[in-house]
C-alpha cells in the first residue's frame, strides 16, 4: 500500500491551502457580521471575484471534464481540495462545476443548461425531496401530466439547496403512477420563468434551503433530461455522485477546530498552569486527533475506490456516517475546551457547531447510512474488511 500523495496532488493541496489562508480566512469576521444581520454568505460580487482569482491560477471545475474547460481531476484529488476548503466556514467553492446528471443532456440542453452552469451564468438546483419523501425518495408525489406536446407539473419540493438562487431546477415527477419509481418517474429541466416559485426555509444553521412550489407549471417535452421514466435512476446517480465529499469538507473543519484547541490549551491558564497540562483536556485533544486521522483514511479510501472504478457506495456510506458523528463530537469537545468563550459568537466555534449538525441529516441521515451498511453486509453485497462486489 502506498499512502503517499503524488507531486501533482501535493501541489494542488498546497495551492488550495494557501489560497484559503490568504484569501478566504480573512473574510470570516465579515461573514459572521453579515449573518447576524440576516444576510447569508459572501456578497455575489465578492464570491465571483474570488472564484475568478482562483480560475486565473488554473483552478476551475475540479472534476469537470477538460473538454468543458475544467481540470478533469479524479475523486481523490477532489477530496483533498474539499478538505482544504473545509478549513473555513466561509461558503466558498471553486467555480466551474455542474451536477453530474446534467451531462446526460442532449446537444440543445447542453447549450442551454450545462455549459452556462459550468460558466456560472446559470444556477441549478436538484428537486427530489418532498414534505412526505425525504429518505424514502420513492415516495415522491409531485406529478407531471402530459398535455399535447407539454407536461404540466404540480407538487412541492422541500429543503432544496440553492432553491432560492436557482434559475432552473432538475425536477423529479411521477409521470406514470402504475410503474412506480422504477420507470414511472421522469426528470425535467424547469426554468423559473416557466412559473415555479421558491420560499425560503429558516434553519438553525446558515444553510439556506427552499421549498419549491409547482402549480400547473407547463414544461415542453424537449426539457426532459435523459429519457422518460429514467428519472429515479438519474436521481440515485446524483445522490451517489460524491458522498465522500461531505465528510471531506467536515474533515477540514475538524482540523482547523483542533488547531484552535491546541492554541487555546497552550495559552489559557488556570491555577497557575496551562489547561493543556490537565488530563481531561489532553484526552479530548487525543481522541479528536485519532478520529480525524481515521476519518481522513475513510474519506480517501472511498475516493480511491471511485478512481479505481470500484463500486464505492459502501465505503462512502461508512465515511459519511463516521464523518457526521465524529465531526459533531469533535466540535462539541472544542467548544468545551474553550469554555464560556466557545459558547459566544466572538469565536466561530458556535457557527461550526450549528453547521456541522446538518451533516448527520443532509444527503442521507445517519440512520439511512447505518441501514445501508448493515444491509450490504447482511445480504453479502459487502464483506467485513472488503468492499461491494
Q: Which among 205, 238, 271 is the end of a domain? A: 238
Q: What is the DSSP letter of 128?
A: -
Residue carrying the nine cell digits 427530489 = 128
Q: How many domains does the chain have?
A: 3
Is 388's pLDDT higher than 60? no
Q: Which among 35, 66, 99 is the end of a domain? A: 99
**Burial of 253: CB neighbours in 10 Å, binned 0-12, 13-18, 19+:** buried
pLDDT of residue 59: 95
Same domain for 131 and 230? yes
Asked if residue 71 lies in contact with residue 82, where contact means CB atoms within 8 angstroms, the answer is no
pLDDT of residue 152: 97
Same domain for 229 and 249? no
Range with the poorest average pLDDT among 155-164, 171-180, 257-266, 301-310: 171-180
Same domain for 163 and 231? yes
Q: Which among 34, 66, 99 is the end of a domain? A: 99
Same domain for 246 and 234? no
Read off the pLDDT of residues 94-151 as tens digits, 9 standing for 90 and up: 999 998 888 999 999 999 999 999 999 999 999 988 887 656 667 789 999 999 989 9
Is 290's pLDDT higher than 50? yes
Q: Is residue 347 part of a domain?
A: yes
Active-site residue, 363 included: yes
Is 183's pLDDT higher than 70? yes
Averaged pLDDT score across all residues of the chain = 91
Same domain for 257 and 299? yes
Rounded Cα–Cα distance for residues 191 and 95 (Å): 21
pLDDT of residue 65: 94
Same domain for 160 and 61? no
Range of the domain at 271: 241-378
Q: Is residue 387 part of a domain?
A: no
Is 300's pLDDT higher than 90? yes
Residue 167, all three cell numbers = 434559475
Three-class SS state of 211 = strand
pLDDT of residue 157: 94
pLDDT of residue 134: 59
Q: Is residue 386 part of a domain?
A: no
Is 56's pLDDT higher than 60? yes
Identified catalytic residue from 84, 273, 363, 367: 363
Is 1's pLDDT higher than 70? no
Among positive and negative, which fits the CA dihedral 300, 306, 309, 310?
A: positive
pLDDT of residue 389: 44
Rounded Cα–Cα distance for residues 287 and 281 (Å): 10
Q: What angle do CA 8, 13, 329 make, to 5 degrees?
A: 140
Who's near 87: CB < 8 A, 6+ residues apart? Answer: 17, 20, 25, 252, 253, 255, 256
Rounded Cα–Cα distance for residues 294 and 302 (Å): 13
Rounded percentage of the chain residues whose pLDDT exceeds 70: 97
Q: Is residue 111 part of a domain?
A: no
CATH of the domain at 261: 1.20.140.10
pTM over 0.85: yes
Same domain for 247 and 371? yes
Amino acid at each position: 500500500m502506498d499512502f503517499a500523495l503524488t507531486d501533482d496532488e501535493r501541489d494542488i493541496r498546497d495551492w488550495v491551502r494557501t489560497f484559503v489562508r490568504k484569501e478566504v480566512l480573512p473574510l470570516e469576521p465579515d461573514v459572521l457580521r453579515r449573518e447576524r444581520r440576516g444576510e447569508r454568505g459572501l456578497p455575489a460580487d465578492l464570491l465571483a471575484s474570488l472564484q475568478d482569482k482562483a480560475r486565473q491560477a488554473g483552478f476551475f471545475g475540479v472534476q469537470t471534464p477538460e473538454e468543458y474547460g475544467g481540470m478533469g481531476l479524479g475523486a481523490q484529488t477532489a477530496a483533498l481540495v474539499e478538505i482544504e476548503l473545509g478549513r473555513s466556514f466561509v461558503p466558498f467553492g471553486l467555480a466551474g462545476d455542474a451536477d453530474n446528471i446534467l451531462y446526460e443532456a442532449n446537444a440543445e440542453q447542453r447549450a442551454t443548461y450545462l455549459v452556462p452552469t459550468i460558466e456560472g451564468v446559470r444556477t441549478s438546483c436538484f428537486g427530489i425531496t418532498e414534505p412526505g419523501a425525504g429518505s424514502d425518495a420513492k415516495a415522491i408525489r409531485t406529478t407531471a401530466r402530459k398535455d399535447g406536446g407539454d407536461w404540466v407539473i404540480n407538487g412541492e419540493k422541500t429543503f432544496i439547496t440553492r432553491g432560492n438562487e436557482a434559475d432552473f431546477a432538475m425536477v423529479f415527477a411521477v409521470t406514470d403512477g402504475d410503474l412506480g419509481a422504477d420507470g414511472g418517474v421522469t426528470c425535467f429541466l424547469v426554468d423559473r420563468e416557466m412559473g415555479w416559485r421558491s420560499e425560503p426555509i429558516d434553519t438553525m444553521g446558515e444553510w439556506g434551503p427552499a421549498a419549491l412550489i409547482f402549480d400547473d407549471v407547463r414544461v415542453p417535452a424537449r426539457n426532459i433530461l435523459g429519457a422518460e421514466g429514467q428519472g429515479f435512476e438519474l436521481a440515485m446517480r446524483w445522490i451517489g455522485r460524491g458522498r465522500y465529499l461531505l465528510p471531506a469538507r467536515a474533515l477540514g473543519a475538524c482540523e482547523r477546530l483542533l488547531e484552535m484547541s491546541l492554541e487555546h490549551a497552550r495559552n489559557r491558564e488556570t491555577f497557575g498552569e496551562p489547561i493543556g497540562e490537565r488530563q481531561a483536556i489532553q484526552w479530548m485533544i487525543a481522541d479528536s486527533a485519532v478520529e480525524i486521522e481515521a476519518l481522513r483514511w475513510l474519506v480517501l479510501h472511498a475516493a480511491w475506490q471511485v478512481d479505481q472504478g470500484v463500486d464505492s457506495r459502501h465505503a462512502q456510506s461508512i465515511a459519511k456516517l463516521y464523518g457526521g458523528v465524529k465531526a459533531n463530537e469533535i466540535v462539541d469537545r472544542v467548544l468545551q475546551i474553550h469554555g464560556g468563550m466557545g459558547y459566544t459568537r466572538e469565536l466561530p466555534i458556535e457557527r461550526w457547531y450549528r453547521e456541522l449538525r446538518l451533516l448527520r441529516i443532509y444527503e442521507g441521515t445517519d440512520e439511512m447510512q447505518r441501514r445501508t451498511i448493515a444491509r450490504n453486509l447482511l445480504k453479502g453485497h459487502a464483506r467485513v474488511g472488503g468492499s461491494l462486489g
